[in-house]
Structure 1
Amino acid sequence: MSEVEAAITRVHQEEWARVVAALTRRFGDLDIAEEAAAEAFATAVERWPADGVPPNPGAWLTTTATRKAIDRIRRESKRDDKHKEALMVSDDDPLEPPAAIGDDRLRLVFTCCHPALAMDARLALTLRMVGGLTVPEIARAFLVAEPAMGQRITRAKAKIKAARIPYRVPEAEDLPARVTGVLAVLFLVFNEGYLATGAGTDPVRHELTAEAIRLTRLVRALLPDDGEVAGLLAMMLLIEARRPARVSAGGELVALDEQDRGAWDTALIAEGHRLVRERLVAAAAGVPPGRYQILAAINAVHTSARDVRDTDWSQVVALYDQLVRLDPSPVVTLNRAIAVAELDGPEVALAAVDRLEDKLAGYHAFHVTRADLLRRLGRSQESRAAYDKAIELAGNTAETAYLTRRRDQLGRPLASEGDT
């Protein structure tokens, strides 16, 4: 990949949401915003190799996309010409009162997460419009077929247009009812950055994790007393703190027990722990923790241990027990089994994992977990088959490299292998 191609990829990751959000504010149409932004990036691919990357790529893209949008509007005679012409002349937004936090991308998130949309549509639309992921990447994240995902996003945009859903941050009294969907979206955006599924992308997409954290901070400023907002932010910070140690110099995923804990970001860990302690005080006062608060507490236990051998696995399992009561999903049950393996042994954990096969057969982490547990039990042939399936389903180059190495180690004595 040339330097210009690399720059275009980086700029797309950094500027897509800003361009789409700015165009949505100006033209009030997600289709126009998305298509004009895509055309602007296509123009960059054509022109930048010859002309060079402009000093301010974001401004160049926004200007180019605005011109593309205006050209499209002028071609569509059925639109209200006077209203649209006014938008073309001025970039002001006088009809919309200023929100509590005037951030185009946050407005875009709340628009995409409107309760008029089904939850799966909110998640998919936000990953496309805010995260800049392609339809195939989003389909992989949702474990659904690509055509079905494309239709889901198209229907969501059409519903926003038909229902005249406003492009704004909700009023203060409406925020609590709207925040659950927003948190779910931000969680998924963060997860996609934490272990990216898109072909040709970096295995860890820092711009997505950073954007999810940034937007979650804005939501926390809107709702400073909401425990789940604080919990999600804490969880993100504690996971992001481990990012410098998660991928080796050779591009291979590094498992938690093998990471250089000295490379972890201590400032992020301290902030995450402070938020968790705040929620523990609230829980002691009779406010039960929610899903994100429990996940944050689990990550606080992991980041409190200076060595993996110091991890308090009994506390981790107890926290997962709380989480299962709130969210008895197969994925949560699978994660609990991973912790049980450290506390009660791989045989007990494998029995719990195998009961999930009919629900998680297409989920790569299920096969990763089985492969590791079978390896630890000395069942190498079965472990190899599970690794093969996990590698087939994995969508991340760093994880594929890690799993391939672990599979290829199966011929070695178990005493030479470390636990995952």
Structure 2
Amino acid sequence: MTASPDAIEHLLRTEAPQVLGALVRRFGHFDIAEEAVQDALLAASQQWRTDVLPENPRSWLIRIAYRRMIDTLRAESADRRREKEYVASEQRFSSPHPTAASHDDSLNLLLLCCHPALSSASRIALTLRAVGGLTTAEIAHAYGVTEQTMAVRISRAKQQIRKSGARFEFIVDDDFSGRLSAVMRVLYLIFNEGYTVTTGTELTRTDLTGEAIRIARLLHALVPDDPEPAGLLALMLLIDSRRATRTAANGDLVPLADQDRTRWDQATIYEGAELIRAAWSQGDVGTYRLQAAIAAVHASAPVAEETDWEQIAALYLALEQVEPSGIVMLARVVAVAHAFGPARANTLLRQLDRDHGLLQHPLTMHRAHAIRAHLREAEGDAAAAREDFLAAADMTKNEPESRYLSRKADGE
């Protein structure tokens, strides 16, 4: 069958981590395997646009990537015996439906990327690159560093995995708790990047949100008794339930208060609410369960005016104790504004800015200016609000968000 370029791109993004996992599981050599996978993806994107799709795309990609990898290993290795072993492995995967093609390697790949030998920043960056499919530029923007700096970080992470002799399979003696936390953080960032992209003409990238949810489901199935992965999955589902209402027909951003809640995905809301309900009372509540609880409060309000903002403000205060990030602090300011009025929220924002520099920090300044603009508008200071709206519009690289803020500056 033939497929559109968009369908091919989606298929390649979906299959890439599976192909990479198959190579690493058989050969090791994460860095060489990723290069082989990239060669296979390039070959597929060129050939599949003119030919019909193969009957089993993953098998096709695995065979091509295996051959590329063996060629590289043959060129690098003087050990002829090992070369023969690799060639024998290639032959085992020459059938139309190799066994590895039906094996889901996403979680093992995630655990490998979150190996204890890597720093936290390297774990997240490498996983976003290898599993999430983000470009080096997108990851660099999310961390507020240059693309060159991030490329070096990812390259060093791959080299460190190779030097450590890390196994692809997980064993019980590994630091599973630490690696699980890193995996959850990675999935959270992948989802957020997809839900509101850092740059570009579109507000969302459903390929990334869908992949994050898919792997979060696998993670929850792997550790069903751990409440935080359940909370993370619940959070993603509850937020993703609003996806269809976040933009107008012309692609413009629609704020939460103006969204048509009758179009929210009720089945997804129910699944997310049941997950957080079951996980809420299991031990000390962590960051993902708190965020899921906030999303559940939003989802339970049939109209925006019935939102329990006092409960949301209290939950954000608890979240700030667990994760005192600038993004969480700003979200609490918004909740306080709705619950107790703009004057109190403005006082809180000034205090937080004095203590943490929210209006100057690269990761928070555009949001902080946008929030202050709304607060100033609510207090009747139109001129100051316009100044902040324009500043925030200039700071964001997401075009729908920038258009929305510019319209607000013009009084729309």
TM-score range, shorter chain: 0.7 to 0.9
Q: Take 2:240 and 2:400, find their aligned partners in 1: how far apart are those partners?
A: 17
Is residue 199–residue 399 contact of structure 2 (8 Å, CA) maintained in 1? no
Q: Take 1:150 and 1:378, find their aligned partners in 2: how far apart are those partners?
A: 47
Is residue 394–residue 400 contact of structure 1 (8 Å, CA) maintained in 2? yes
Deviation at 1:260?
1.0
Partner of 1:30: 30
Is residue 115–residue 179 contact of structure 2 (8 Å, CA) maintained in 1? yes
Deviation at 1:159?
0.7
Q: Given the two structures, how large is their TM-score scaled by the length of structure 2?
A: 0.88
Is residue 18–residue 104 contact of structure 2 (8 Å, CA) maintained in 1? no
Partner of 1:387: 389
Is residue 370–residue 389 contact of structure 2 (8 Å, CA) maintained in 1? yes
Is residue 330–residue 360 contact of structure 1 (8 Å, CA) maintained in 2? no
Is residue 115–residue 178 contact of structure 1 (8 Å, CA) maintained in 2? yes
Q: Take 1:315 and 1:150, find their aligned partners in 2: how far apart are those partners?
A: 42
Partner of 1:307: 303
Unaligned stretches of 5+ residues in structure 1: 93-97, 413-420
Deviation at 1:360?
5.0
Letter in 1 for 2:226: D
Deviation at 1:162?
0.3
Letter in 2 for 1:26: R
Deviation at 1:42?
2.5
Alpha-carbon displacement from aligned partner over 1:332-381 (angstroms, at most 9, x marks no partner) = 11111110111122222223224427245223322222222222223333
Partner of 1:343: 339
Q: Take 2:27 and 2:384, find their aligned partners in 1: how far apart are those partners?
A: 57
Q: Take 1:407 and 1:314, find their aligned partners in 2: how far apart are those partners?
A: 29
Deviation at 1:321?
1.4
Deviation at 1:218?
1.8
Partner of 1:358: 357
Q: Take 2:78 and 2:393, find their aligned partners in 1: how far apart are those partners?
A: 51
Is residue 4–residue 53 contact of structure 1 (8 Å, CA) maintained in 2? no
Partner of 2:133: 132
Is residue 4–residue 52 contact of structure 1 (8 Å, CA) maintained in 2? no
- Segment of structure 1 superposing worse, 321-330 or 311-320: 321-330
Q: Does residue 292 in structure 1 map to residue 293 in structure 2? A: no
Shift of the 53–102 alpha-carbon distance from structure 1 to 2, 3 Å rule, reads: closer
Unaligned stretches of 5+ residues in structure 2: 95-99
Deviation at 1:173?
8.1
Partner of 2:97: none
Q: Take 2:390 and 2:64, find their aligned partners in 1: how far apart are those partners?
A: 46
Alpha-carbon displacement from aligned partner over 1:278-317 (angstroms, at most 9, x marks no partner) = 23444xxxx3211111111111100000001000011001
Q: Take 2:372 and 2:62, find their aligned partners in 1: how far apart are those partners?
A: 48
Is residue 128–residue 135 contact of structure 1 (8 Å, CA) maintained in 2? yes
Deviation at 1:75?
2.1
Q: Take 2:225 and 2:240, find their aligned partners in 1: how far apart are those partners?
A: 23
Q: Take 1:249 and 1:56, find their aligned partners in 2: how far apart are those partners?
A: 36
Matches within 5 A, 1:12-411: 12-51=12-51, 53-54=53-54, 56-78=56-78, 80-91=82-93, 103-171=104-172, 175-199=176-200, 202-282=202-282, 287-354=283-350, 355-356=352-353, 358-359=357-358, 361=360, 362=362, 363=364, 364-408=366-410, 410=411
Alpha-carbon displacement from aligned partner over 1:141-192 (angstroms, at most 9, x marks no partner) = 2222211111111111111100011112343885334311111111111111
SS at match of 1:51: coil
Q: Take 2:31 and 2:11, find their aligned partners in 1: how far apart are those partners?
A: 21
Q: Given the two structures, how large is their TM-score scaled by the length of structure 1?
A: 0.86
Deviation at 1:65?
2.5
Is residue 386–residue 408 contact of structure 2 (8 Å, CA) maintained in 1? no
Shift of the 20–383 alpha-carbon distance from structure 1 to 2, 3 Å rule, reads: farther
- Segment of structure 1 superposing worse, 368-377 or 144-153: 368-377
Question: Percentage identity across aligned positions?
Answer: 42
Q: Take 2:40 and 2:174, find their aligned partners in 1: how far apart are those partners?
A: 38
Is residue 137–residue 197 contact of structure 1 (8 Å, CA) maintained in 2? yes
Deviation at 1:116?
1.9
Q: Take 1:11 and 1:77, find their aligned partners in 2: how far apart are those partners?
A: 33
SS at match of 2:15: helix
- Segment of structure 1 superposing worse, 224-233 or 366-375: 366-375
Q: Take 1:90 and 1:59, find their aligned partners in 2: how far apart are those partners?
A: 12
- Segment of structure 1 superposing worse, 36-45 or 146-155: 36-45
Q: Take 1:7 and 1:303, find their aligned partners in 2: how far apart are those partners?
A: 32
Shift of the 89–38 alpha-carbon distance from structure 1 to 2, 3 Å rule, reads: same
Q: Take 2:372 and 2:359, find their aligned partners in 1: how far apart are those partners?
A: 11
Deviation at 1:126?
0.4
Deviation at 1:211?
1.8
Deviation at 1:91?
4.2
Alpha-carbon displacement from aligned partner over 1:20-78 (angstroms, at most 9, x marks no partner) = 22222233122222212222232334434443555554443333323222222222235
Is residue 7–residue 53 contact of structure 1 (8 Å, CA) maintained in 2? no
Letter in 2 for 1:107: N
Q: Take 1:211 and 1:66, find their aligned partners in 2: how far apart are those partners?
A: 24
Q: Does residue 9 in structure 1 map to residue 5 in structure 2? A: no
SS at match of 2:133: coil
Deviation at 1:194?
1.3
Is residue 26–residue 91 contact of structure 1 (8 Å, CA) maintained in 2? no
Q: Take 2:174 and 2:44, find their aligned partners in 1: how far apart are those partners?
A: 43
Deviation at 1:277?
1.7
Instruction: Compute the RMSD of aligned alpha carbons.
Output: 2.6
Is residue 196–residue 205 contact of structure 1 (8 Å, CA) maintained in 2? yes
Deviation at 1:210?
2.0
- Segment of structure 1 superposing worse, 249-258 or 81-90: 81-90
SS at match of 1:169: coil
Shift of the 331–165 alpha-carbon distance from structure 1 to 2, 3 Å rule, reads: same
